[in-house]
Amino acid sequence: MDGFGLREGKRIRLIMAAPFRGPLLLEDLGSGARIMIGRGMAETVEVSRCESS
């Protein structure tokens, strides 16, 4: 996951979830970079909801 820039403490936002268990489009809130990952890979990531201020 490090190769995608997904590290502990990183703030990301889900932009789009493709239908039929397709990939997820994520946006790094710090840099604005967007990445697409498969659902299988996404299942290995632990996330928590962060309320926007």
**What CA–CA distances, in Å, run from 18 to 14, 15, 24, 37, 47?**
11, 10, 6, 11, 19
Residue 16 has pLDDT above 90, yes or no: yes
pLDDT on residue 49: 82
pLDDT on residue 6: 76
Measured CA to CA, the distance from residue 53 to residue 48 in angstroms comes to 16
- Residue 39 tokens read as 């659902």
pLDDT on residue 38: 93
pLDDT on residue 47: 82
- Tens digits of per-residue pLDDT, 19-48? 999 999 999 988 999 999 999 988 888 888
Q: What is the pTM for the complete model shown?
A: 0.78
Residue 17 has pLDDT above 90, yes or no: yes
Given a contact cutoff of 8 angstroms between Cβ atoms, the answer to whether 1 and 44 are in contact is yes
